[in-house]
Amino acid sequence: MNRFFMSLVIFMMSLAGCTSFPPEPADTQPHLNGLPVLAIYYDDIEEPVGYGKYQAFLFLLSNDQFVILRNRDKVEIFLSNLANLEAEYPSTKNPIKFTRNGSLISGQRIFDHLNSEGFVPHIYYTNYEGKFQGDTLHLRSLSGRTYPDGQEKKGEEIAWDFRKLKEY
């Protein structure tokens, strides 16, 4: 009888709202440059390996934009600090605008140094080409410089196989 009475009291309290279970932690959506992050992709090795082993994260943003951040921290450490990314990585302020045609994407980033003091006048560009295959984005970037006299100097090509870590 005692057990029945306690169960009845707990049931009545829960109906009255006197007891509650702790809410599950909210999976808050991060933002970069004021834009919501739609998905986070990750590649542990970029090809070719540059000045040391970098891993890369691609943040797919709304309005057909993305940001690539490279670092050497462990994935868990990097992702635990999403709220501070804009302060630590100024490149988040300049996302890459891309176009999408089915599973194919392409985009370009341009820095105009034609009238910048301290630089030989040039335009620095990076072209991005990629393809979504399931939860993987195969992406290549090719950078270079064009000069006012028409000369062009090709830069390095980097390739990633970004795997989706999280979708919001």
pTM for this model (two decimals): 0.78
pLDDT at 126 over 50: yes
Q: What is the helix (H) or strand (E) element at residue 151, kind and residue range?
A: none
The pLDDT value given to residue 114:
92
Please give the pLDDT value at position 22.
45
Which range, of 3-7, 41-45, 64-68, 73-77, averages the lowest pLDDT?
3-7
User: 94-121, pLDDT tens digit by residue?
Assistant: 899 999 999 999 999 999 999 988 889 9
CA–CA separation, 157 and 140 (whole Å): 7
3-state secondary structure 53-100: CCEEEEEEECCCEEEEEEECCCHHHHHCCHHHHHHHCHHHHCCEEEEE
- The domain locations on the chain are 29-167
Distance CA 139, CA 161 (A): 6
Label residue 136 by pLDDT band (50, 70, 90): very high
Average model confidence (pLDDT) across the chain: 84
Give the confidence band of 51 by pLDDT, cuts at 50, 70, 90.
low
Q: CA-CA distance, 67 to 69, in Å (whole number)?
A: 6
